[in-house]
Amino acid sequence: MPDPVSPADFGFVRVAAAVPPVKVADVAANLAQVLAFAGRADDQGAQVVVFPELCLTGYTAGDLFHQHLLLDRASEALLELARASARLRPLLVVGLPVALDGALYNTAAIVSGGQVHALVPKTFIPGYKEYYEERWFSSARDLRARELPLGGRAVPVGADIVIRARSLPELAIGVEICEDLWGPLPPSSFLALQGARIILNLSASNDLVGKADYRRALVAQQSARAICAYVYTSAGIGESTQDAVFGGHALVAENGVLLAESNRFDPKGQLLVVDVDVEHLALERAKTTSFVDSAATLDGRTWRTVEMDLAPYTAPPFHRTVDPSPFIPATGEERSRRSEEIFSIQAAGLAKRLSHAGIEHLVLGLSGGLDSTLALLVSLRAVELLGLARDQIHAISMPGFGTSDRTRGNAARLARACGVAFEEIDIREGCTRHFHDINQPLDRQDVTFENVQARYRTMLLMNRANQLRGLVVGTGDLSELALGWNTFGGDHLSHYDVNAGVPKTLVRYLVDWASGQPGFEHARETLRDVLDTPISPELVGDGKGDGVFQRTEDLIGPYELHDFFLYHFARWQSRPAKILFLAEQAFRGRYEPDELRKWLRVFVTRFFDSQWKRSVMPDGPKVGSVALSPRGDWRMPPDAEVALWLADL
């Protein structure tokens, strides 16, 4: 039996952001809470746990920070925590005031395995509005010492420290404190350039109206800029409310995406446990050339490395939500805004191509299916942008041997409702003559039978465009390009493919979104029926024409799976075994593992086999993070061997 798959095999590290209840200046109570939350995080398999700024004393202790009694007790508590950490698996990062060289520093202590490994002081000390930290604390820039005697050993101290795990040498961790993130040049940016893939932030950010939104955006943006996982945790409501209230906001973001967020204002505190993907981060940094180029900004500065043991990744459950529909925005408000944006990108691309070429007529094949429907809607927006009439769009329905009455009728109704020029050309007679020319029996419904129809349709569109001095609008989508589910010399060709960057799941969503937009009221009923029609090339049929006989997803697999596979394969360069693992999380209860493996093999095989078609694909706009144009994102030899990728499954 093979060893069971672990998320650690694919580069996942389990982190936690803790917001324990705090009592101002009650170090013993605060230490007890830190230990309790550390134990909870340990029970959930966390490898790294970060606590709020000055959590051992409370952030709002004010002039009590000048009391040696408080400082001494905090130092003793840190050593107690270090001793207790010998019984705990995770790396703990806690906040406390540290006196050194006649100054006081707001400090993060890195603790595990029975000892304090390093101390990282805060760099940017706020002294404005409600913040008076400059009254008590000095900046890390003022440090002269590089070590602090603590518990019988010299502990490295400074903001120039990167933590590395001995068992995972590719994993580096950096630490900054609250205001450091708010500065124009956050220390985390430089730590990231030194290899830190996980940034921990101990914070005490009070809550104001709208501040949580700003904080959320700031954390997500810094994780994107530094291409890192950013783990942020802030002081909770146990802090003094004399002049401000602290809600206890914890956030985990990864490369611009917010993975998890705590509830605020919880008197019991919060604990977020999340699996972050440091393998993704490494790959993203490697291919982002500007990230490496930014290392020149370090100007010869050096950083120290502190090596330590990191607990191995433990068993499930997997602490990460895997989106089964990665191309579709998650929330209603975001979906509407994103849909409008995608639609606008498609239309703007087509409008530019028309205006540059001096062309005022568009020709497209309207089948009554999803892709051509979206292409028609985008064309309507494009002619609107250019001030052209709707009847300068020429929609042509070309029913063939597998065309159903339903799609044929929807094509005609949609064209009428949209006010575009419409004609129907039955291709069966022309294709039959061609079958005779090449000695193809009419009853042999093989790939030649199908491709003759696809190529005949394209020939008609191109020739009709010549007559009108028009442009043929392509309708094939990104998923079809990935799978090679198109006919070379047929629907593979167009003058401009508006759907080239839109995967099938997003095509469906965009048509659904458009059906509710102003301007499409007369087409709404037809658009809803198009959405309810099974996806089909309609190239073979049962001879009755009263239903959709040939169903694409029965032949090549569900598009929701293929789009998921495509996203992780092309966006994140993930190996098939990792994609399969993630698919099992995303589609648990909907597909069995063997079924996922089957369709993933189909995807990988077809993706490799179809690169030769993508090498000569028409122009079309990129609309998202995945595109397959050889002139844009994806360059791959058409004769690359697939064996290595199939073996990974």
Residue 416 lies in a domain: yes
Which range of 308-322, 334-348, 477-491 scores highest in mean pLDDT? It is: 477-491
Identify the residue with better confidence: 330 or 607: 607
Residues in the chain: 649
Residue 598 forms part of a structural domain: no
Q: What is the DSSP letter of 610?
A: T
In a domain, residue 107? The reply is yes
**Distance (Å) of CA 107 to CA 75, 104, 204, 475, 544:** 11, 9, 13, 58, 77
Q: Where are the beta strands (DSSP E) in 8-73?
A: 12-19, 48-50
- Choosing from 556, 588, 613, the residue where a domain stops is 556
Structural domain boundaries enclosing 514: 332-556
Question: How many Å apart are CA 55 and CA 21, to the nearest integer?
Answer: 9
Residue 587 within any structural domain of the chain:
no
What type of residue sits at position 507? V
Q: What is the CATH number of the domain that holds 302?
A: 3.60.110.10
Q: Within this chain, do residues 488 and 354 fall inside the same structural domain, yes or no?
A: yes
CA distances to 174, 190, 192, 243 from 284, in Å: 18, 17, 13, 43
What are the tens digits of pLDDT across the range 461-514? Answer: 999 999 999 999 999 999 999 999 999 999 999 999 999 999 999 999 999 999
Annotate 340-382 with three-state secondary structure.
HHHHHHHHHHHHHHHHHHCCCCEEEECCCCHHHHHHHHHHHHH
SS (H, E, C) 165-229: ECCCCCCEEEEEECHHHHCCCCHHHHHHHCCCCEEEEEECCCCCCCHHHHHHHHHHHHHHHCCCE
Query: Do 473 and 513 fall into the same domain?
Result: yes
Question: Is 246 in the same domain as 381?
Answer: no
Q: Which structure tokens are listed for 234?
A: 């802030």
Count of C-beta atoms within a 10 Å radius of residue 201: 29
Query: Which of the four pLDDT bands, split at 50, 70 and 90, describes residue 450?
Result: very high
pLDDT at 548 (0 to 100): 67
Above 70 in pLDDT, residue 544?
no
User: Are 394 and 470 contained in the same domain?
Assistant: yes
**CATH at 381:** 3.40.50.620
Last residue within a domain, chosen from 273, 308, 343: 308
628 domain-assigned: no
pLDDT-wise least confident of 139-143, 448-452, 541-545: 541-545
215 shares its domain with 356? no
Cβ 590 vs Cβ 564: under 8 Å: no
- Write down the mean pLDDT value for the chain: 95
Q: Is residue 365 part of a domain?
A: yes
The residue among 403, 330, 336, 327 whose CA lies nearest residue 365 is: 403
Write the CA distances from 235 to 206, 222, 500, 648, integer angstroms.
Answer: 8, 20, 47, 45
Residues near 275 by beta carbon (within 8 Å), at least 6 away in sequence: 7, 12, 13, 14, 15, 318, 319, 320
Using the 3D structure, point to which of 539, 556, 573 is the last residue of a domain: 556
Q: What share of the chain is helix, strand, coil (3-state, %, to 5)?
A: 40, 15, 40
Residue-wise pLDDT for 207-257, tens only, equals 999 999 999 999 999 999 999 999 999 999 999 999 999 999 999 999 999
468, 340: one domain: yes
DSSP secondary structure code for residue 630 in this structure? T
Based on the domain organization, do 112 and 153 belong to the same domain?
Answer: yes
Q: What is the pLDDT of residue 315?
A: 78
The CA distance from 81 to 166, in Å, is: 22
Q: How many domains does the chain have?
A: 2
What is the arithmetic mean of pLDDT over 532-559? 84
Alpha-carbon span 278 to 259, nearest angstrom: 14
Average pLDDT over residues 280-308: 88
Is 642 contained in some domain?
no
Q: Is the domain of 39 the same as that of 124?
A: yes
Q: Are residues 279 and 368 in the same domain?
A: no
How many CB atoms sit inside 10 A of residue 51's CB? Answer: 31
Q: How confident is the model at residue 3 (pLDDT cuts 50, 70, 90)?
A: low
| Residue 4 binned pLDDT confidence (cut-offs 50, 70, 90) | low
Q: Are residues 184 and 142 in the same domain?
A: yes
Residue 365 shares a structural domain with residue 302: no
Please report the pLDDT score of residue 316 as a whole number: 81
Rounded Cα gap, residues 641 and 102, in angstroms: 66
- Percent of the chain, pLDDT > 90? 91
* Closest to 514 (Cα-Cα) out of 342, 345, 367: 342
**Could you report the per-residue pLDDT of 72-95, keeping only the tens digit for each?**
999 999 999 999 999 999 999 999
According to the model, what pLDDT value does residue 499 have?
98
Q: Is residue 68 part of a domain?
A: yes
Catalytic residues: 53, 122, 178
User: CA 1, CA 4: separation in Å to the nearest integer?
Assistant: 9
Residue 543 has pLDDT above 90, yes or no: no
* Residue 139 and residue 218 share a domain: yes
